[in-house]
Structure 1
């Protein structure tokens, strides 16, 4: 793309496609769900429009990729970056040594709330005498048996620090320094 500023390192966040639980609003943290057929179609559509040589996300410009270890994120990564070479083959377009699979960008650990709907969580908490004056909010109240907002922040801060280290010496167009995160909403 001729209008892309090649001198600016970028970070792309690629959220996984649809799963059975994202379709109906269930909290999906550690449960390892695959993409639905519609989710596969979503990711393939994104890849065809945005990923490839000369496109917004050009594998030649990518210096690092971080991927959540959940099936839905791994599947999304594969659909985005495999089989996109110019010859139409199925070989990955991102070298393996540039890919890091890490819990640091895994979905929030919802603990006891895994697989539940917001209404179910709020109802259960209210029945147990919690949140009588104000409704449960994940950012304020966290998840029983799971992760707090502070814990999620700490692991994401580690990732941000790593990205800064990679990109800091390339902020003036010295070399391409794009980063891709294949993950969840967090």
Structure 2
């Protein structure tokens, strides 16, 4: 049986669509900003192509959704799965701060160059540039705090998926959240420290996929490419 076989449980990472701040690269953590009209179109396009019976994300195979409390993530969830009460996966989603975006604290609404300039003016980072993965955010979360809450969620996911590693029953899960926290999640899923260099891109409205090698709960992995289900 191939590692690409859908019988191995998967974790789908769904990034919310465009907001006004994602367009210009501003750190958006606790600010409750809604999707733009284009952001809604991005998610609707993703849903049409990838979500539905027999598609990449088949609601019949989804047993749990965890979603950030932020409005932009909530909108994304509804656009992906619909909102018909408890009969859709969206109606059974768990809202949790464990997958909320990194709390940027004093850096909320800033871009990287502005943060580095402000820190430089205060005499910080003389030997090396500020890096969120290593240095965290003043007034917000450290990398360790972020890693701790993601590890807690990963433990919950593996408890769900461990009994289903050979297709005993459907056990796909979906995370609906934000760009930086989902990339942080990938690092922790693989057991890497957050400050380990691992360049990744996940555009607004994009879907990432994680799973396991060899149907083994102790071999977490990510897909670097996947064939899509055949659609008649």
8 A contact 2:17–2:43 mirrored in 1 = yes
Unaligned runs of 5+ in 2: 182-232
Q: Determine whether 1:169 maps to 2:169.
A: no
Partner of 2:89: 94
Partner of 2:24: 24
Partner of 1:51: 51
Separation (CA, whole Å) in 1 of partners of 2:143 and 2:90 = 33
Partner of 2:40: 40
Deviation at 1:119, TM superposition (A): 1.0
TM-score by length of 1: 0.91
Q: Determine whether 1:154 maps to 2:163.
A: no
**Which string of whole-angstrom CA distances, capped at 9 and with x for unpartnered residues, describes residues 77-132 of structure 1?**
0000007xxxxxx5662163x31000000000000000011111001000001012
Q: Determine whether 1:112 maps to 2:72.
A: no
Partner of 1:76: 76
- Give the RMSD, CA atoms, in angstroms: 1.4
Separation (CA, whole Å) in 2 of partners of 1:106 and 1:161 = 17
Q: Secondary structure at the match of 1:20?
A: coil
Counterpart among 114, 118, 134 of residue 124 in structure 1: 118
Relative to structure 1, the CA distance from residue 30 to residue 155 in structure 2 (aligned partners, 3 Å threshold; closer, same or farther) is same
Separation (CA, whole Å) in 1 of partners of 2:67 and 2:94 = 6
8 A contact 2:82–2:90 mirrored in 1 = no
Partner of 1:86: none
Relative to structure 1, the CA distance from residue 55 to residue 129 in structure 2 (aligned partners, 3 Å threshold; closer, same or farther) is same
Tell me how many residue pairs correspond in the alignment.
Answer: 176
Deviation at 1:6, TM superposition (A): 3.6
Unaligned runs of 5+ in 1: 84-89
Separation (CA, whole Å) in 2 of partners of 1:6 and 1:69 = 29
8 A contact 2:77–2:90 mirrored in 1 = no
